[in-house]
A = this chain, B = another copy of it.
């Protein structure tokens, strides 16, 4: 691998990150959501109520970030935070009814976003794309490949 390829690759990843996130933000704004919050709601919908430590792990961000995000999502009425009776340290986070309804809208937006993103890519690329992205993610995750 040469310096030029490396530079192009890293820059391409950086640009995709910025723009994909920016586009997501545009689409989520009408719902009153900021980019990043949708992932928390989708995760809650996918697995049911979870404590923040689990959310932190699933979302790939640190506990303090989850604390602030959950605060704001609770303030806007999309989730509810209740102390865990079995572990007094933990607080469990659950979707409200309003939150569940929001998730349905998010799913539609994410379909739009994904279709927009992969427009013009060859069909065989589409099949391997999630795998490629996942491989790169775990490669730089620092964690040993389980």
Residues of A within 8 A of B (CB): 1, 3, 5-24, 26, 39, 42, 60-61, 107, 110-111, 113-121, 125, 128-130, 132-137, 139-142
Known: A135-B121, A139-B120. A114 touches B19 (CB 8 A): no
Contact residues of A: prevailing secondary structure: helix
A6 engages B140 (CB within 8 Å)? no
Decide: A17 near B21, CB < 8 A? Known: A117-B136, A140-B116.
Answer: yes
Q: How far is the CA of A113 from the CA of B8 in the complex (A)?
A: 12
**Bound Cα distance A42, B7 (Å):** 9
Q: Are B130 and A20 in contact (CB under 8 A)?
A: no
Neighbour of A1 across the interface among B5, B19, B21, B115, CB < 8 A: B115
Question: In the complex, A17→B3 CA distance in Å?
Answer: 21
For A11, give its contact among B7, B39, B111, B128 (CB under 8 Å): B39
Cα distance, A116 to B116, chains bound together (Å): 29
Known interface pairs A110-B10, A142-B23. Does A16 touch B137 (Cβ–Cβ under 8 Å)?
yes
